[in-house]
Amino acid sequence: MQQGRNVERRTILKAAGASLAVAGLGATATACGGGSGSGDGTVTIRYSWWGAEDRAERINKTIALFEKKYPKIKVKTDFQPYTDFWKKFNTQASGGNPPDVFQNAIGFLRKYDAKNVLLDLSEQVKAGNLSMDGFRAGLEKFGEIDGKLLGVPVGSNSMALVIDKPVYTRAGVKPEQGWTWDDFDDAMTRIRDRTGRAGDSGMYGVMYLYDLYLRQNGKAFFTEDGLGFSEADLTAWWTKAEKGVKSGLFADPKKVAQIKPKSALSAELAGSEFTWDNFTVRYTSEGKSEYGLAPIPTTDGKRTGQYLGSLMLSGYKRTQHPKEVAQFIDFMVHDPEVAKIMGYDRGVPTTQAQYDAYRPTDPVNKAIAAYEQSLVDAGVLETITPHPNGADICETAFLRIAEEMALGERSVDDAVKQFFTESKTALAG
């Protein structure tokens, strides 16, 4: 699934689209991490994340708790807006001086593992410096790639349909677990005809929603080494989305572009929008209506293809202080006080201890917690689709090309061909 909620998912991979130079990273084979030590045994580790001031304030409070528990470990912090974070990280990694521990996401694991950037935390688990026990709903496996533990999740989220509740009520639509895509199409028609508003903001570029649709049909967006769908599959998906716009079921893409970074849902251009469940806070702050979370439509009335996953903490492979990095990550994912400070800023806490420690009282965060619990109770959660090296570039291309198509700058056929051309190059690197 937070700071920058209005841009984080849309821009989640744009800044990392430029690949790290192999030669540049190869030259760091004997380089050391940026942490430092002092004569009294105190060490300093560098911790970086993307976010705005509100997240920084919360994280700095948790660091104060950590340094109190571990007085011999000091944490030097750095944060940037999302796009700037990855620009800076790429520069640091190319120069052999990335932070010792940093915020990460699933789309980057194979990429930076292939570039020898990520620390395998498995050894620290064996040494007792990091516990992978007590995680919710299988999240302890979220950061595992090829038998290596490359990231530890700090917050969970899942895809959802965020709805304008009064609009759905006026249209007589009540989404329930197990509703189908046919039901969804009927709902879009009802909303358009009964409220005069487009049913949805549009599904062109929501890559993770398309992934769920593919998973419902026995495929997936990614396999371990490439794309898991054909040009014909994507043509059908984007053709349906285009027809939805022309018929008024989905919002006018040009109007949606004009009101950015505000969402089409909160701007009252649409009655709903597919996004991550913990982004609901965004709509409440932007819009004037009451918003809720609805289940993902299904193909067969059962399988949604959903999984839990969110932000992670990863370490630098050549850090001078792997033990301290592991202890820091362990504290951040297990300590109950951290959960009380962070709330759902990075998603729902991933460990049961932190989940129990923070029980939201506001309606929005209570709804997020209830939604994720409903997924567990319904038994729909699956393992996340593997992301190959180059996945970040594929997602950037999917987002950009889909928007170009939505704005009438490309035909569906041209958009599909362009996406597969760019993805083939990205995944071959």
**Does the pLDDT value for residue 114 go beyond 50?**
yes
Neighbours of 119 (CB within 10 A): 25
**CA 41 to mean position of chain CA atoms:** 37
Note the pLDDT of residue 38.
Answer: 63
> What would the two tokens of residue 288 be?
């004037």
**Does the pLDDT value for residue 86 go beyond 50?**
yes
| Cis before 261? omega within 30 | yes
**Does the pLDDT value for residue 79 go beyond 70?**
yes
Q: What percent of the chain is predicted at pLDDT more than 90?
A: 72
CB burial string 18-50: b at 16+ within 10 A, e below: ebbeeeebeebeeeebbbbeeeeeebbbbbbbb
Side chain identity at residue 244, one-letter code: G
**Does the pLDDT value for residue 344 go beyond 60?**
yes
Neighbours of 402 (CB within 10 A): 25
**Per-residue confidence band for 18, with pLDDT thresholds at 50, 70 and 90:** very low
Q: Kindly report the average pLDDT of the chain as a whole number.
A: 89
Mean pLDDT calculated for residue range 323-337? 98
Q: Report all structural domains of the chain as residue ranges with CATH numbers, in order of start.
A: 22-154+317-358 (3.40.190.10), 159-306+386-428 (3.40.190.10)
Note the pLDDT of residue 2.
Answer: 39
Between 31 and 349, the more confident residue is 349
**Does the pLDDT value for residue 222 go beyond 90?**
yes
**Does the pLDDT value for residue 250 go beyond 80?**
yes
Q: How many CA atoms lie within 13 A of 392 on its CB side?
A: 23
Task: Compute the 3-state secondary structure of the chain and give helix, strand, coil in percent, each to the nearest 5.
Answer: 45, 15, 40
**Does the pLDDT value for residue 3 go beyond 50?**
no
Spatial contact of 237 and 245, defined as CB atoms under 8 Å apart: no
**Per-residue confidence band for 282, with pLDDT thresholds at 50, 70 and 90:** confident
CB burial string 238-266: b at 16+ within 10 A, e below: beebbebbeebbbbbbeebeeeeebbbbb
Mean pLDDT calculated for residue range 221-245? 95
pTM of the model: 0.80
Note the pLDDT of residue 208.
Answer: 92
Please tell me the least confidently modeled range out of 38-52, 89-103, 223-237.
Answer: 38-52
Ordered DSSP codes for 161-210: EEEEHHHHHHHT----TT-BHHHHHHHHHHHHHHHSSBSBS--TT-HHHH
Mean pLDDT calculated for residue range 190-214? 95
pLDDT digit string (tens) for 365-390? 899 989 998 998 999 999 887 789 88
**Does the pLDDT value for residue 171 go beyond 80?**
yes
Note the pLDDT of residue 225.
Answer: 84
- The residue among 106, 4, 6 whose CA lies nearest residue 53 is 4
Note the pLDDT of residue 216.
Answer: 97
